[in-house]
Amino acid sequence: MENGTTTMVLTKIPHFREVVVCSFECEHCGNRNNELQFAGTYGETGVRYTLSLPAGDMEARSRQVVKADSAAATVPELEFEIPAGTQRGTITTVEGLLREASDALRALQPQRALHDPDTAAAVAAFLDKLDACVEGTTAFTLVLDDPAGNSYIESSAGADVAASKDPLLKLERYERTPEQTAAIGLLPGPAAAPSGQGAAAAGALPEIAEDDVHHGAAPIGAAAAHRGLARMQGAAESALIQRYAAPEEVVELPSHCSACGSPSTARMYQTHIPFFKEVILMSDSCDVCGFKSSEIKGGGAISERGRLITVHVSELEDLHRDVIKADTATVEIPELDLEVSTGTMGGLISTVEGLVDTISQALKGTQGFHLGDSAAEDQRRTWRSFFAELDACKALEHPWTLIIRDPLANSFVSSACEDPRRDLRMEVVEYERSAEDDEYFGIDHLKATDAAEASRLEKSLKSVPEKESVYADQ
């Protein structure tokens, strides 16, 4: 009960975003503890990691695990769950996660044996099974489910984007349900207006001075974007609007900000790209916190075949090709043994150079585990060499190959000449989707009725005499 010292530091942890690390130590008795508190933004989707741990594989049990407050860890073979809110904000390993749960259960065994011997015996039998999993004598599966998207299990390939190359680890991204969204606090109730003020005053934006250098005629903040547009006059306003789309072609829908949960407006615009297809551009901006996001989706019907685009990057012109990468596509650079799996980075519009730069920045922001002081020297050397090779590709120090594989054919790379068929450095091949792709994207579950058959059935019913038609209806 003496006074101790609490040390706090704000830092960024890969796959866990920004956190506050709190450490307490008492110099009188030696008591120590530490905790992580969430301090960043939530992920756009929830994540579910499924790690299969074979018997005797202690290296897999040493993989690092980040468990956020909102994450639940389960072992299906034991019907065991570490619920959300338990082991809050921890950075550990698979073995450490289960050992801590085992120690917590074992701590109350003397009390159970005294008051409820049957329950104590059942818990003891369960602890034997859990210890067998931890020690490597039994194979089991660890599932880490986090609706907030802030948890992580280390991949043997060393990167979240390379999880598809890890035979033991499976990563799934999913949309949060309304219940999950409310549970993690992303849908706060409407804020009450101060006494004496109406609802309009509660949601009013602050006034912006005319001489404000940050919110002038071309405002930076999302909160004042419409005001900056209103200050323009005549041709300047018309040119800005018509650069992308006419106002009547943009569809606005009420939505909620994925960062703070406040009401916002989602905008959609459908356009056609030459030599490609119709696409839907979507953007969302929040007037309260300034969060902005944009994405592109393929429009129209689902393509019957997938598309494989191969670009041989050898000229400066190739780095400037326009690229549309859908969220259904995978990106590969065979020379670097790099693969960006489906769903990673979402859908984006960029250039070949911009796409490589986006991949590089995403990896550098998530590889603290493999670049920091805790990583092995050979691991740090490998990653430094990889990033050097990625920068060399971006600088076009040597020819390399970009492969975009999209089972739904929603991705696109512009041609270097007017006729894409004459582009000698780009190949576009359509291929039959596999059964696994149809199952993954839910195409097998689509139910459609043939229009011609329905029309013939309708005509045949009309040709039946009236009495028989009534009898058939009955």
pLDDT of 76 over the 50 cut = yes
Torsion angle defined by CA atoms of residues 75, 80, 84 and 85, in that order, rounded to the nearest 10 degrees: -130
> Fold for domain 1-41?
N-terminal domain of TfIIb (2.20.25)
Mean pLDDT of 415-420: 79
Q: What type of residue sits at position 236?
A: A
pLDDT of 238 over the 50 cut = no
* Domain extent listing, the chain: 1-41, 43-180, 306-443
- Return the pLDDT at 51: 92
- Three-state DSSP class for 396? coil
- Return the pLDDT at 447: 54
Span 342-365, pLDDT tens digits: 877 777 888 899 899 888 887 776
Torsion angle defined by CA atoms of residues 235, 241, 245 and 250, in that order, rounded to the nearest 10 degrees: -140
Mean pLDDT of 397-423: 87
The answer to whether 352 and 443 have CB atoms below 8 angstroms apart is no
Q: Provide the 8-state DSSP code for 224.
A: G
**Radius of gyration from C-alpha coordinates of the chain:** 28
Which CATH architecture does the domain made up of 43-180 adopt?
Answer: Sandwich (2.60)
- Of residues 51 and 211, more confidence is placed in 51
The CATH superfamily assigned to 306-443 is: ZPR1, A/B domain (2.60.120.1040)
Taking the whole predicted model, whether its pTM rises above 0.85 is answered as no
The answer to whether 309 and 413 have CB atoms below 8 angstroms apart is yes
Who contacts 444 (Cβ-Cβ below 8 Å, separation ≥6)? Answer: 438
| Residue 471: band (very low, low, confident or very high) from pLDDT cuts 50, 70, 90 | very low
- Three-state DSSP class for 455? helix
CA neighbor of 74 nearest in space, from 86, 62, 63, 64:
86
- In 372-425, which ranges are continuous DSSP H helix? 377-394
β-sheet with 348-351: strand ranges across:
348-351, 322-325, 412-413
- Of residues 117 and 184, more confidence is placed in 117
Span 422-454, pLDDT tens digits: 888 999 999 998 888 888 777 776 655 554 566
Span 365-406, pLDDT tens digits: 666 566 666 667 777 788 888 889 988 998 899 999 999 999
HSE-up (13 A, CA, CB side) for residue 459: 6
> Is the fold of 1-41 the same as that of 306-443?
no
